[in-house]
Amino acid sequence: MDHPTTPSGSPRCTFFAQTVLPTAPYRLSRFFSFLSYPHLVLGDFNLNHPLADPCHGLSEREFIISTRYFDATFDVRYHLLNTPGLYTRFPFDTISRPGVLDLAFANTALSSLLSSWDTSLPSTGSDHVPCMITLKPPAIMLPPPTPHWALLDLDAVGKALDSFTTLACPAKPTSNSLSRWFDISSTRLTSLLTSHAPSKRPCPHSKPW
Amino acid sequence: MKSSRRTYFKAIASAKKSHWSDFLSSATPRSLWTAKRFAFGRPPQRFPALPGASNPAEVAETLLEHFFPSKPPPPPLLRLTGYVDYAPLTSEEISRALSKSSNTSAPGPDHIPYSVWKSVHHIKPSLLPSLQDPLLAHRFHPPSLKKALGIVLDKPGKPSYDAPSSFRVIILLRTLSKILERVVASCLSAQATICSLINPLQCGSLPGRSTADAALVLQHNIESFHRLRYKVSTLFLDVKGGFDNVESPSLLSILRRKGVSPYLVQWIGSFLRNRNCCLTFQGFPRHFAPVSVGVPQGSPISPLLFVIYLSSLHLEVPRSLIISYVDDFAVTVASPSYRTNVRLLQKSFLAVTGAPYREVNSKVATALKLKVEDKERVNNSRRIKKVKLNIVKLKALLNKFSRGKLVIEVECQTLKLK
């Protein structure tokens, strides 16, 4: 199980199985901390708070615990994704009332990528309804993998270069034709080189592309 | 069970500690940086949060405007013609250029390092000349080689990062282009000596010259003047934002006037024209924007072009000597009294910058004068034994050049005799 505060460039999913709700600040920092990368914390928190469920009457103890929890999340710039008052748990017994216990928090880096949060999916048979969080595709395109030039197959390159010839330069070139000639020639050469170099992996232990 | 678990974790911790100690004890100058990264971690990259720029495209636009302010357009491109007296590019010239290039130098937009080109040139020496010779023969630099990556780095220790001045840009050019630029730089360097393009007292950007030469020349002159029982004063000038503020029409005019080969002048004109840059930062828009640069950073030929551009600052001022290292100038004057030195320095400053010293900042002049008088008093007390540079930093942003529009930052430095 990875610690969520470890900076990482790659997407990471961390699961916590907490039987007791952590309320101490040092324990809360395991879930919520200042992170530069998108981070989503969701789960059955068993917490009632006026921000999530404004119609729910709370005992003083419930209010103190949940407020401490919510304050800790807001201090590190996490936002509640739930639509206030939209229930996520419908108990099977008739004594208990429905509640908003399944909460989702997103940090600032993730907020710009969120599209919607709703409970429109069909029931799974559990007393908790499935919550659907839709993310927008990020506008930032990840750079394509670059060639690992240190692993360039020089023998193969040598054989390929033996039969490689540069295109003849135009006899009376204009700036456009000379530019086009150079672009075609250099692209042919760089493509040849790139085809003999494996792509870089995100880290040495990653599988090849 | 508990004790065996404790022993197990203790063994792991001990192994980690001993491995770390071994690593540190056998650290080389290069692996020291790895150790620092392990010990302190990578600092988080700061996103340029500029007021008025709400998305990465606007941030890129603001940064481009700040780092590459608009300049007069270069002269239009003439019709391409081959030169009859042009000597073709040889594989030896490429080999020499590649031998001076570092394999660890960061590549540009094509991500191809020098090591690959070295291997290609070793396998087939005729390939790179056949690709680059037509460009030089027709004194043309193609637009694809004029695309650069601008890595936006935050300057450490700034109180806030909401202004473009809190960042700096490192320009990465295509290595294939830099090979050709290095070849042209060596040609131009050879012609610089013949055509007197660079003043002999310019100690930077030429092979065989260094900061040590500048320091020795300065020391030699100071001691020579001391033997004549003269008082010596030096004014240090620094050209601010040098490369970016070079005006290419003026530079090309200097090269033409000094008799540099026409094909080189035309190629340099093409090299400086229509350049593009793509700024890279977190969430940057992946497109190249046209930028107006003076001489591009990161190019092997840029320092040489810059010192040629500044060569006119080496003026013949009576009883003064101007030594320079790229953009740092030292104006040394000598006379029987420091008071006269101040007047001579003011004259030299007027000659070099075209702006009177007192008009620029009267406080600087006054402070310098006071300091000089103080030195005279110390001098009279005959406690003076050794020459030492006392740097009195009087920061003042001064006037602009009449020709090059370069902003000069002045630091007044006086010689203190102890």
pLDDT per residue over B168-205, tens digit each? 889 999 999 999 999 999 989 888 878 888 888 888 87
Residues of B within 8 A of A179 (CB-CB) are 140, 142-144
| Contact call for B131 and A158, based on CB within 8 A | no
**Contact flag A162-B41 (C-beta cutoff 8 Å):** no
Predicted confidence band at A181 (pLDDT cuts at 50, 70, 90)? very high
Interface contact B37, partner A, CB < 8 A: no
Of A11-25, A188-202, B177-191, minimum mean pLDDT range:
A11-25
Number of other CB atoms surrounding residue B370 within 10 Å? 11
Distances (CA, A) of B414 to B203, B234, B303, B332, B363: 21, 6, 28, 10, 16
Range from A102-106, A129-133, B385-389 carrying the lowest mean pLDDT: B385-389
CATH 3.60.10.10 maps onto chain A at 25-135
pLDDT band at B399 (very low <50, low <70, confident <90, very high): very low
Q: According to the model, what pLDDT value does residue B181 have?
A: 94
Give A88: exposed, middle or buried? Use CB within 10 Å, 0-12, 13-18, 19+: buried
A16-30, A163-177, B19-33: least confidently modelled range: A16-30
Nearest Cα of chain A lies from the Cα of B172 at a distance, in angstroms, of 16
| Tens-place pLDDT, residues B213-266 | 888 888 888 888 889 888 888 888 877 777 877 888 888 888 888 888 888 888
| Integer Cα distance of A94 and A104 in angstroms | 27
Position A167 pLDDT exceeds 80: yes
Please list every residue in chain A whose beta carbon sits closer than 8 Å to the beta carbon of residue B130.
166
Share the mean pLDDT of chain B: 77
Among A101-115, A180-194, B48-62, the range with the most confident prediction by mean pLDDT is A180-194
The answer to whether residue B408 scores a pLDDT higher than 60 is no
The mean pLDDT value for A160-184 works out to: 88
- Name which of A149, A169, A190 is nearest B134 (Cβ-Cβ): A169
Instruction: Give the closest-approach CA distance of B300 to chain A in angstroms.
Output: 21
Q: Look over chain A and give the mean of its residue pLDDT values, rounded to a whole number.
A: 80
Give the pLDDT of residue B297. Answer: 86
Please check the confidence at residue B417 and state whether its pLDDT lies above 50.
no
Residue A138: closest CA among chain B residues belongs to which residue? B283
Asked whether residue B31 carries a pLDDT value surpassing 70, the answer given is: yes
- Residue B274 is predicted with a pLDDT of 86
The pLDDT of residue A120 is: 84
Cα dihedral sign, A77-A83-A88-A91: positive
Q: Show the tokens assigned to B235.
A: 């004014």
Residues B119 and B129: their CA atoms lie apart, in Å, by: 14
Q: Cα separation of A88 and A127, whole Å?
A: 8
Give the minimum alpha-carbon distance from A178 to chain B in angstroms, rounded to a whole number: 8
For residues A181-208, average pLDDT:
86
Phi, psi of A72 (to 5 degrees): -65, -40
**Is A158 within 8 Å of B123 when comparing Cβ atoms?**
yes
Higher pLDDT, residue A48 or A157: A157
Residue B130: which of A7, A140, A166 has the nearest Cβ? A166
Partners of B134 on chain A (C-beta within 8 Å) are 169, 173, 178, 181-182
| Cβ neighbours of A182 in B, within 8 Å | 131, 134-135, 142, 144-145
Residue B355 has pLDDT above 70, yes or no: no
Helix, strand, or coil (residue A199): strand
Q: Does A173 sit within 8 Å of B134, measured CB to CB?
A: yes
Task: Choose the closest CB to A157 out of B45, B115, B123.
Answer: B123
Contacts of B44 in chain A (CB under 8 A): 7, 36
Residue B381 has, within 13 A of its CA and on its CB side, a CA count of 10
Query: pLDDT (tens digit, 9 = 90+) per residue, B123-146?
Result: 999 999 999 999 988 888 999 999
Kindly report which listed range (A38-42, B4-8, B54-58) carries the lowest average pLDDT score.
B54-58
Cβ contact A147–B111 (<8 Å): yes
Mean pLDDT of B58-62: 81
Q: Which two tokens stand for residue B216?
A: 């020795």
CB of B356 closer than 8 Å to CB of B390: no
**DSSP state for residue A167 in the 8-state scheme:** P
A113 CB neighbours in chain B (<8 A) are: none
Nearest to B138 among A36, A147, A173 (CB): A173
Greater confidence (B165 vs B405) lies with: B165
- Kindly report the three-state secondary structure assignment for every residue of A43-73: EECCCCCCCCCCCCCCCHHHHHHHHHHHHHH
What pLDDT digit, counting tens, does each position of B272-287 carry? 988 888 888 776 667 8
How many other C-beta atoms are found inside a 10 Å radius of the C-beta of residue B66?
A: 14
- What secondary structure does DSSP assign to A128-164, as a single string? BPP-EEEEPPPSSPPPPPPB-GGG--HHHHHHHHHT-
Chain A residue numbers touching B115 (CB-CB < 8 A): 149-150
What is the tens place of the pLDDT at every residue in B298-323? 899 998 998 888 887 887 777 778 88
Cβ distance A190 to B115 less than 8 Å, yes or no, reads no
Q: Is A37 on the interface with B (CB under 8 A)?
A: no
pLDDT at A168 over 80: yes
pLDDT digits (tens, 9 = 90+) for A50-81: 888 888 888 888 888 888 888 888 877 788 88
Q: What is the pLDDT of residue B370?
A: 33
Q: Is the pLDDT of residue B397 over 70?
A: no
Question: B238 pairs with which residues across the strands?
Answer: B328, B409
pLDDT at B122 over 90: yes
Mean pLDDT, range B68-87, rounded to an integer: 66
Q: What percent of chain B has pLDDT over 70?
A: 77
Rounded to 10 deg, the angle between the B91-99 and B114-123 helix axes is 150
> Do A193 and B42 make contact, defined as CB atoms within 8 angstroms?
no
Q: How far is A81 from chain B (nearest CA, A)?
A: 23
Confidence of residue A49 (pLDDT cuts 50, 70, 90): confident
> Taking a C-beta distance cutoff of 8 angstroms, is the pair B209, B203 a contact?
yes
Q: Chain B 366-395, CB below 8 Å of chain A: which residues? A: none
Buried residues in B274-305 as b, exposed as e (16+ CB within 10 A): ebebbbbbeebbeebeebbbbbbbbbbbbbbb
Max Cα distance, chain A (Å): 92
Residues of A within 8 A of B45 (CB-CB) are 36
> Is the pLDDT reported for residue B387 higher than 70?
no
The two tokens of residue B352 are 């070099």
Contacts of B109-115 spanning 24+ positions with Cβ under 8 A: B109/B147, B109/B148, B109/B149, B109/B172, B109/B174, B109/B278, B110/A190, B110/B174, B110/B175, B110/B176, B111/A146, B111/A147, B112/A149, B112/A190, B112/A193, B112/B174, B112/B175, B112/B176, B113/A149, B113/B175, B114/B175, B114/B179, B115/A149, B115/A150
Q: Is the pLDDT of residue B379 over 70?
A: no
What's the mean pLDDT in B321-345? 85
More confident residue, B364 or B48: B48
How large a percentage of chain A has pLDDT more than 90? 14
Closest chain A CA to residue B112: A149
pLDDT reading at B85 higher than 90: no
The whole-angstrom separation of Cα A157 and Cα B121 is 12
* Fold held by A25-135: Deoxyribonuclease I; Chain A (3.60.10)
| A11 interfacial to chain B (CB closer than 8 Å) | no
Which A positions 108-167 lie with beta carbon below 8 A of chain B?
139-141, 146-147, 149-150, 152, 154, 157-158, 161-162, 164, 166
Residue B394 has pLDDT above 60, yes or no: no
Pick among B55, B77, B79, B80 to test the A interface (most A CBs inside 10 A)? B80
What is the pLDDT, as a whole number, of residue A199? 86
Q: What angle do CA B21, B26, B28 make, to 5 degrees?
A: 125
Rounded to an integer, what is the distance from CA B198 to the centroid of its chain? Answer: 16
Asked whether the predicted pLDDT for residue B368 surpasses 80, the reply is no
- Put simply, the answer to whether A182 touches B144 (Cβ < 8 Å) is yes
CB distance A189–B131 less than 8 Å?
A: yes
- Chain A residues with CB-CB distance to B151 below 8 A: none
Whether A182 has a pLDDT exceeding 90, the answer reads yes
Q: What distance in Å separates the CA atoms of residue B176 and residue B112, rounded to the nearest whole number?
A: 8
Q: Which residue out of A5, A112, A157, A182 would a mutagenesis test of the B interface target, given it has the greatest number of B Cβ atoms within 10 Å?
A: A182
Q: What is the 3-state secondary structure (H, E, C) of chain B?
A: CHHHHHHHHHHHHHHHHHHHHHHHHCCCCCHHHHHHHHHHCCCCCCCCCCCCCCCHHHHHHHHHHHHCCCCCCCCCCCCCCCCCCCCCCCHHHHHHHHHCCCCCCCCCCCCCCHHHHHHHHHHCCCHHHHHHHHHHHCCCCCHHHHEEEEEEEECCCCCCCCCHHHEEEEEECCHHHHHHHHHHHHHHHHHHHHCCCCCCCECCCCCCCCHHHHHHHHHHHHHHHHHCCCEEEEEEEEEECCHHHCCHHHHHHHHHHCCCCHHHHHHHHHHHCCEEEEEECCCCCCCCEEECCCCCCCCCCHHHHHHHHHHHHCCCCCCEEEEEECCEEEEEEEECCHHHHHHHHHHHHHHHHCCCHHHHCHHHHHHHHHHHHHHHHHHHCCCCCCEEEEECCCCEEEEECCCCCCEEEEEEEEEEEC
